[in-house]
Every structure is written in structure tokens, then in C-alpha cells.
Structure 1
Amino acid sequence: MAVLVGRVQSQTKTTRDELRFDVASVRPNQTDACRGRWDFAASRGVVTADNAPLMRIVSRAYNLTDDRVSAPSWIKSECYDIRAKTAMSNLPERDLMTMLQELLKERFHLVAHLESNERPIFALLPDKNGVKMPADGNPIPPPPSITDGRILFMGKTLHDLCERLGTATGRPVIDKTGLNGKYVIVLTYLPFGSINSEPSDAASDVFAAVRDQLGLRLESQRGPVDILKVDAIDKIPTDN
């Protein structure tokens, strides 16, 4: 195991002093729906989170999937609403995420560092027959009819797809497609342990679904996986 940095820092041409939101509101979401639907968005100088688990906010801020964040268990079930805005509306998303990191440090007193562990992974790669995902902005196809216990996943980012595939396969899935931007991603597959198939068949179904429906493939590899170790984080954010 190698410790990469003592404190997580983002590399950017814009200075860190400039990468701070002009206005930010962070509030605990204490509704009964907190364990249910949540939304997270970042574009045009604005970051919003509605009913979002703190785990998801942290993982998105550091561009990691949830399974690569080591933190107190409560951050999976405590949800928050965030409204944060900067006048620099043309910032790329990576800079907005750096600003979100700073906001987490200010309001939740987040202290964290990255460690690199080598472990079995799946690499997400383009299939030889070509990618089948249309670019975001194209008409979204209607969801297919779901039968036989299949799971429907719809998303726009490869980050979200890797997270879902990591849950489905039980390994970290690393995006090595070289693709940028957002897509219309629609995937149906059988979960592990489905009553309609043996687990081995379900595993094969995930791999086949990725290949046949998305034009991507999962390749078993070993590689370094960055894990964000949360050393300290507050449950109640400081006042807005």
C-alpha cells in the first residue's frame, strides 16, 4: 500500500483561492424521503444536491465511486441539500468538483487523504464493434419492458455507469474507454442471485449486456485503485 498524498489536493491551472463558490447553502435533509430518491448536478457554475447522501456528495467531489470511499457508515444514510454557485459559469466540471471539495472542508470540516491499493478490477473499454451509446442531447429511447427480474439502469455519465457495474460485479470498475462527455446510457441486466438464473449466468448477463447494449466491454485486470480515507467529517455542517 502506498500513501499518495497527505492531504487530497486537486491539480488545476486556476489557483485554489479562486476555486471557491461565491454563494453556498448546505442544509441537512431530514424528510422521510431521505433514504429514497436523490439528485446531484453540476454545470454552468452551479452545483446542486437534493436529498443526497453525504457519501455520494463526497465521492462525486473526488471523482470516485462510493465503494472507493472509506468513511464512517453514517455518511451513507445522512442526506443533505446543497445550492452552490460561482460567477465563473464556464468552469469545467473538474473545477466545480474542486470547489465542492473546498466546501466540504469548510462546512463539514472534512479531512481526508488518498491511498493506493492494488486489487482485482474490471476495466471498462470500448468493444471492437464500436460504441453504441448516443451522445447526450439525442432523443432518449423509451425504457424497454423489464421482465424476468432484470434491472434497468439509465444514466448520462460513465462515472455513474462504472459505479453501477461495480455494484453488479463486486469489483471496482475503472473507466479506460478514453471517451469524454455525456451519453444516453440505457442498460438492463440480471442481478447476481436472481431467482431466474444461477449467479454465474447472472454475471455473464452483465458482461453480455454491456457489450451488446452499449458497445463496451469489461476486462478483468489487476491495478492500483485510489481509496479516499476519510479521517474526520462532521455530521452537522456549519451555518450558511
Structure 2
Amino acid sequence: MKFLSVLPLVLVASFAVATAQHPQSNLSFEVASIRPGADADAEMIAIRMNAERSMIHYVNVSLRDMIRVAYNIKEFQVTGPDWIRNRFNIEAKYPAGATEDQVPEMLQSLLRDRFKLQFHNETKDHAVFALVVGKNGPKLKPSEVKATDYPDSPNRKPGTPVRGDLQIMGSPTGMHLKGPALTLSRLCETLSMFVDQPVVDRTGLPERYDIDLTFMPENMRMRGGPGGPGQGADGGTEAQPRITLFEAIQDLGLKLEPRKAPLQMLIVDHIEKAPTEN
């Protein structure tokens, strides 16, 4: 089983872009260590974004993803120079009195101060897939994973899944998406990785749900899956499952519909390739 590049994120993203005309946040991390991560073109790497009660722990996180979290937008809403794909490892401590909910504000300050980020916003019509409720209603059960189930919580039992943490695993049988207490907005963000246009949440369902999906992306079907075709007991090639993402999502009582939607885009005008020194 191979872990693919995925960003388990405990923050909920929306489509409201913070504009350059809004007052800049003065809230900053008390201290932040930023060091180079894996190569931007690496295919099989561990990527993690954890925001805890007192610190963030980011592993192999790209500048694009830091921008996306800082301004509560999706990856496809960020455009800029090629080096926004550069990856970094970040350990940053909140100042006294700050909370996890203020991580985006602190990331804005970090990007502005350490990477000299400058940007503007544009609104463009974009082809999307809308995640909507199927005709027979959703087949989702609200998660029972509590907000206290974070890595640094003294009440968290060993081995308990982390709330809002999504794993993607690849094998010859397809992609397996699994995570506890996910918002459907978070799920849509991940589904966008496997189709040719953004996926947006139009379900109107506000709860967090335990998600477990297995499907075969089209590009993997052509390649025979990660690492090549699966091998059968007789050494031959196993038949690949035919279930697509569009079919798998129906098991949740949901469906994907093609639509057009105006999306706000964050256009990076300037950003440094590397941060100022720690």
C-alpha cells in the first residue's frame, strides 16, 4: 500500500477570498521554523498539515497550499509562478491567547513577512463538478469523532483517528479515501485531485462525516494502477475494477454534476522562492 501526496487538513475552506483591500492581519506566530521540504516534482511523499492547540506541524507543504489555507480558498483558485510548488517543513508556535481558528491569519503574516507575498483577485467563470444530494437522499452518518481527538489532546486514546484527517492510499485495486469527521467541502477539495475540473460542495449538508471511498481514477486505469497492473495468483494480470469516482460517490447518496460557476481566483503577483532566514 502506497501513500500518495495528500494534504490532511483540519481547517474548513470556503470560497470567500480575502481581498488585498482588506486590512492585513497583524497576528503572527510567536516563532516559526521554515526549512526546505521534498522536491516539488516528487511523486510519492508524505505531506501533512496539522494544526493543533498550540502549534502547526507542516511536512512537505507547498507555497500554494500555504496560500490556500491562509486565505480560505481551494488549490485551483491559486495561480502564480512555478515556484509556488516549492515544498517546506514548518514548525510554528502560536502567540499567547491565539487559537487554531486563527491559523489562517498567522499564515497570512508568515507569507507576507517571510516570503514577501503580494497578490490580487479576479473572478472568472469556471467549469466545475457540483457535489449534490442524490434523488434518494444522502447515505451519510454524522461522525462521532469528537473535537478533542487531536494529536496533542490529553483525552485522545492511542490509535484514535484524528478528526478531519484524510488519508489517500493507492494500490493496484484503485484509490482508497478514508477519514473521520470530514466536512463535504474538505472531501470536494480532495476529489478535485482525481477529475479534470474543480469539485464544489452544493449539498447544503453542514455536518462532519466519516468517509470511506474506493474507486479507480481514469489515469490509473490506463496505467494499470500505481506501480503497474496487479498480479493474480497465477502470475497473470488481475482485471481492474471498473467502478469510477462518479459511481463510488453514489454509494454515499451523492452525485457529481457538471456545471459552470463564477470562482474567485487569487493571482500571485510576487512571492520569493525561499523564505527569509529563521
TM-score bracket relative to the smaller structure: 0.7 to 0.9
- Per-residue CA deviations over 1:87-121 (Å, capped at 9, x if unaligned) read 235452xx311221121111100111221101221
- Asked if the contact 1:8–1:112 (Cα under 8 Å) also holds between the matched residues in 2, the reply is no
Q: Secondary structure at the match of 1:163?
A: helix
From 242, 249, 253, the counterpart of 1:215: 253
Which AA in structure 2 matches 1:103? Answer: L
From 159, 163, 175, the counterpart of 1:151: 175
- Per-residue CA deviations over 1:72-95 (Å, capped at 9, x if unaligned) read 12222x211112222235452xx3
- Asked if the contact 1:34–1:51 (Cα under 8 Å) also holds between the matched residues in 2, the reply is no
1:49 has 2:62 as partner: no
Q: Aligned partners of 1:73, 1:33: CA distance in 2, in Å?
A: 11
Q: Aligned partners of 1:147, 1:26: CA distance in 2, in Å?
A: 33
1:165 has 2:191 as partner: yes
Q: Secondary structure at the match of 2:244?
A: helix
What's the RMSD between the two structures over aligned residues? 3.4
Q: Secondary structure at the match of 1:37?
A: coil
Which AA in structure 2 matches 1:75? Answer: I
Q: Aligned partners of 1:33, 1:148: CA distance in 2, in Å?
A: 22
Q: Aligned partners of 1:215, 1:57: CA distance in 2, in Å?
A: 32
Q: Aligned partners of 2:141, 2:48: CA distance in 1, in Å?
A: 22
Rate the CA distance shift 1:6–1:90 in 2: closer, same or farther, 3 A. Answer: closer
Counterpart in the other structure of 1:67 = 76
- Give the total of aligned pairs: 220
Counterpart in the other structure of 1:225 = 263
Question: Could you tell me how far 1:157 is from its partner in structure 2?
Answer: 4.6
Counterpart in the other structure of 1:117 = 124
Q: Aligned partners of 2:105, 2:90: CA distance in 1, in Å?
A: 15
From 41, 49, 53, the counterpart of 1:40: 49
Question: Could you tell me how far 1:205 is from its partner in structure 2?
Answer: 2.3
Rate the CA distance shift 1:232–1:181 in 2: closer, same or farther, 3 A. Answer: farther
- Asked if the contact 1:5–1:115 (Cα under 8 Å) also holds between the matched residues in 2, the reply is no
Counterpart in the other structure of 2:245 = 206
Counterpart in the other structure of 1:235 = 273
% same residue: 32
**Structure 2 unaligned runs (5+)?**
1-16, 147-159, 162-166, 225-240
- TM-score, normalization: structure 1? 0.75
Which structure carries more helix by proportion? 1
Q: Aligned partners of 1:162, 1:136: CA distance in 2, in Å?
A: 21
Rate the CA distance shift 1:21–1:178 in 2: closer, same or farther, 3 A. Answer: farther
**Structure 1 unaligned runs (5+)?**
none
